[in-house]
Structure 1
Amino acid sequence: MELTGSQILIECFKEQGVDTVFGYPGGAILNVYDELYKHSDEIRHILTSHEQGASHAADGYARATGKVGVCLATSGPGATNLVTGIATAYMDSVPMVAITCNVGKGLLGRDSFQEVDISGITMPITKHNFIIKDAEALAPALRKAFAIARSGRPGPVLVDITKNATADKAEYEYRKPEEPKRVTDTIKEEDIEKALEMIQKAERPFIFVGGGSVISGASEAVNAFAHKVHAPVCDSLMGKGAFNGTDPLYTGMLGMHGTKASNFGVAHCDLLITLGARFSDRVTGDTNRFAKKAKILQIDIDPAEINKNVLVNGSVIGDVKSVLDILNEKLPELKHDAWVEEVEALKNQYPLKFDDDRLTGPYVVEELYRVTKGDAVITTEVGQNQMWAAQYYKYKEPRTFLTSGGLGTMGYGLGASIGAKIGRPDKTVVNVAGDGCFRMNMNEIATAARYNVPIIELVLNNHVLGMVRQWQTLYYGERYSATVLNDQVDFVKLAEAMGAVGIRVTKKDEVAPAIEKAISLGRPVVLECVIDSDDKVFPMMSPGAPLEETFDADDLKK
């Protein structure tokens, strides 16, 4: 049948199972929005306060559900406002399709009103992108876009459509999308045999779980593997929840703000088994001194990650779940009692701790964990709030901790929490934020209020840019250049002005009742917890230092 380009776009959305899109209209994309209006009973459109909020919401929706997130924007500044969100998704391998509309084909390349080469701008931060100038090319490109976004190592794809292509007509015929196939053809028998040999020879193995384990749906396989190998387990920021954070074998996060048990354990293991992690500099510190006593076995879907940051002794390229299924079938039950007890002693010797005499970020996160029984979806901003949420909330399941790991995007979490709550309405969704990050995209509280999306924006307000201030304290002689936010912004009044509920907490005994109230209201809530400006995230490893030099507040006093 013959349809306009805009109608084809909507039909392709329906083909791909899209039920929600996030966006902001404008002149070049008006034809698409006119068609969305006619299909509002089939596809829900969430009008965000800013295009960046739309991209983060699509990202949060994708991470929480495992589906492809979709965001829309018009030409020029509308399209460029998506760039930060696209880059965030790219760095963390999030499946997302960004639809932008451009000026008409005849106006391209003439510096026309609101014209920008968004395809050129986003080329380095997308898996692929398309420029569609004719309606006939639209359906094939959209189908490819969704397939590319969700296949292999996922990521964002941009489709830029000229306005004439949204209005012109072309033939359309329904096609059922192909289910994405797991990458298994790269799994070589000799690599599996070497991996098995390395694992069985090890006396002090340590397992490092990364975001690829979440993406591949490998959680059950990871848990089975850890117990079969009988090895302690640490994770990256992106890997949280792939291994049960309440399991006795779990030692906490690895890296700059990882636990001493994880950092010291990896420094002294003889085999580091890495499952879907890319050895970020925030994890390794000095790569020349990273896990020097260990052989390294890396399992990853992306061959480009092998030997990129850290040289490894063995690797298996392929879908993490598929590889672990093979290894779990072939491995005998192993025992490493002395090693597991040694790492358990490290956990007991170096527990996470904070000043319990006053209201602090860690105390708030621990209370959040207790009240929600560890069953909430937690999104975060970036900085101290992010690290405390990673350290003090125990993640038992994958897709329950959503954070900007690779790009470190301040302002990510609020939009992501809206997308996550829409994707997982059965879950309590809390965005753990700092006051600096909240200022970045606080306008999305109005979005949550407009649609009555009952997210909780938990603001740890220390009136400073906390993580930057921490570095200024430790490395810049306490010169607090442009990091003090001690002004007159009232977050409670701000929340109320936007149609949400505002609650302020200044004492420890107020925290749990405030969280319980926020959950019970069934409305968007801004819960402000006022903490000290000089609270710090510990443990910490200085940039470029080895894991063995991780320090905490007690070490600084000494």
Structure 2
Amino acid sequence: RLNPFSTLPGYGMDYWPKDAKLIQVDINGDRIGLTKPVEVGIQGDARLVADGILAGLSPSAGDAGRAEREALIAGKKAAWATELEAMDHEQDDVGTTWNERCRQRQPERMSPRIAWRAIKRALPSEAIISSDIGNNCAIGNAYPSFEAGRKYLSPGLFGPCGYGFPSILGAKIGQPGVPVVGFAGDGAFGISMNELTACGRGDWPAVTMVVFRNYQWGAEKRNTTLWYSDNFVGTELNDGVEYAQVARACGLQGVKVETAAALEEALRSAVEGQMKRRETTLIEVVLNQELGEPFRRDAMTAPVQVAGITNDGA
């Protein structure tokens, strides 16, 4: 999907083929050519357009070099999976030390990547998942894999904070026979947590919700560590709030975990309870405060002198 987020470099890799001629298909004509220059723009339903294009191609179209391309892609994919499994922590940009300080300050706490590897091991292959906005979910988007379509719900370009919980409730209503798991950081979850008071009603299907606790608005704080010398404003959350206890107070199952093994077991148990006993479970995952890549490195620049005041206060 062509939008300002989906075409940005990830993990430092700028994959966009700048010399390619682009055919863009979008149901919304206003989006065609909005992000990248296109050679051909087609307004229409993606499936119908794809079927029309395929009908006009010969059966052997694309066969030249197919085996080599498939082998190259398989090799790259396997290498990336191996590299991803080896990543335990987030790296600091040159001149910043936030992540290193987090690890020193809370050595006993899980990092987001260690938590996501545990989630990947426990997540059913047929599950529908939703991902909220925020730093922990952005890190986690690299981990789940899917064998079928219509399994991943994301706020995308709209960027609504609090999307993860209500969207997974909707997914379960639409697909009651499929396990569903929602993901959100504690900042984003706070926007829609009032749904806890509603989703436990007898006629609502059960869901599983995972909330990452790092007591901060991570995406906003990441921008501050990179561009504003840790001059945090409005990024801290109350470390006395216990979301698992809030869930239990709403008549739901609430579990707090602090290790990868406990998280893996809790997620397996919660999904089993969802499918066999109609239990809605909130899993509160306590993490350290490491921060991954900012959403857009092109969105900000380092402060300059304004009204005679510089970044260092001089």
TM-score, length of structure 2 as denominator length: 0.75
Instruction: Work out the CA distance in 1 between the residues paired with 2:119 and 2:80.
Output: 25
* Offset at residue 298 of structure 1 (A): 1.4
**Structure 2 CA distance for aligned equivalents of residues 449 and 381 of structure 1:** 21
Look up the equivalent residue of 1:333 and give its one-letter code. G
Matched residues in 1 for 2:147 and 2:188: separation?
Answer: 26
Match of 1:313 among 35, 39, 47: 39
- Alignment-derived partner of residue 294 in structure 1: 20
Give the structure with higher Rg (CA): 1
2:181–2:207 CA contact under 8 A, matched in 1:
yes
Distance change >3 Å, CA 539–CA 255, structure 1 → 2: farther
Structure 2's unaligned 5+ residue stretches are: 90-106, 301-314
Do the aligned partners of 1:366 and 1:393 also contact (CA within 8 Å) in 2?
A: no
The residue number in structure 2 matching 1:496 is: 248
**Percent identical residues:** 25
1:161 counterpart residue number: none
Indicate yes or no: 2:183 matched with 1:463. no
2:205 is paired with a residue of what secondary structure?
Answer: coil
- In the alignment, residue 446 of structure 1 is paired with which amino acid? T
State the one-letter code of the partner of 1:510: A
The one-character-per-residue Cα deviations of 1:298-331 (angstroms, maximum 9, x if unpaired) are 1223332222332211233322212212322314
Secondary structure in 1 aligned to 2:223? Answer: helix
Are the counterparts in 2 of residues 462 and 530 from structure 1 also a CA contact under 8 Å?
Answer: yes
Distance across 2 between alignment mates of 1:463 and 1:388: 17
Structure 1 position 509 matched with structure 2 position 270: no
Q: Which runs of 5+ in 1 are unaligned?
A: 1-209, 212-235, 238-252, 270-290, 546-558
After TM superposition, the structure 1 = structure 2 runs for residues 451-490 of structure 1, keeping only pairs within 5 Å, are 451=202, 453-490=205-242
Match of 2:116 in 1: 365
Q: Secondary structure at the match of 2:156?
A: coil
Per-residue CA deviations over 1:31-81 (Å, capped at 9, x if unaligned) read: xxxxxxxxxxxxxxxxxxxxxxxxxxxxxxxxxxxxxxxxxxxxxxxxxxx
- For residue 132 of structure 1, what is the aligned residue in structure 2? none
Aligned to 1:394: 145
| 1:27 aligned residue | none
Distance 2:269 2:65 in 1: 46
**Quick check: 2:223–2:294 contact (8 Å CA) kept in 1?**
no
**Secondary structure of 2:220 counterpart:** helix
Cα offset, 1:425, TM superposition? 0.8
Name the structure 2 match of 1:335.
Answer: 64
Matched, 1:303 2:25: no
Structure 1 counterpart of 2:62, which letter? E
The TM-score with structure 1 as length reference comes to 0.44
Q: Distance in 2 between matches of 1:538 and 1:340?
A: 30
Map of 1:71 onto structure 2? none
SS at match of 1:334: coil
Aligned match for 2:280, one of 524, 532, 535? 524
Match of 1:444 in 2: 195
User: What pairs with 1:417-428 in structure 2 (closer than 5 Å)?
Assistant: 417-428=168-179
The 3-state SS of whatever aligns with 2:158 is coil
User: Which structure dedicates a bigger proportion of its chain to strand?
Assistant: 1
> 2: distance between equivalents of 1:295 and 1:537?
32
1:355 aligned to 2:80?
no
Q: Does the alignment pair 1:375 with 2:131? A: no
**Aligned AA for 2:261?**
D
- Please say if residues 257 and 537 of structure 1, whose CA atoms lie closer than 8 Å, have aligned partners that are also in contact: no
Q: Is the Cα–Cα contact under 8 Å of residues 259 and 539 in structure 1 kept in the other structure?
A: no
For 1:511, what is the secondary structure of its paired residue?
helix
Which residue matches 2:298?
A: 543
RMSD value, Cα: 3.0
SS of aligned partner of 2:22: strand
Aligned AA (2:250): M
Counterpart of 1:278 in structure 2 is none
Higher relative contact order (CA 8 A, sep 6+): 2
| Partner SS, residue 432 of structure 1 | strand
CA distance in 2, matches of 1:340, 1:539: 32
Give the whole-Å Cα distance in 2 for the aligned partners of 1:317 and 1:400. 25
Deviation at 1:426, TM superposition (A): 0.8
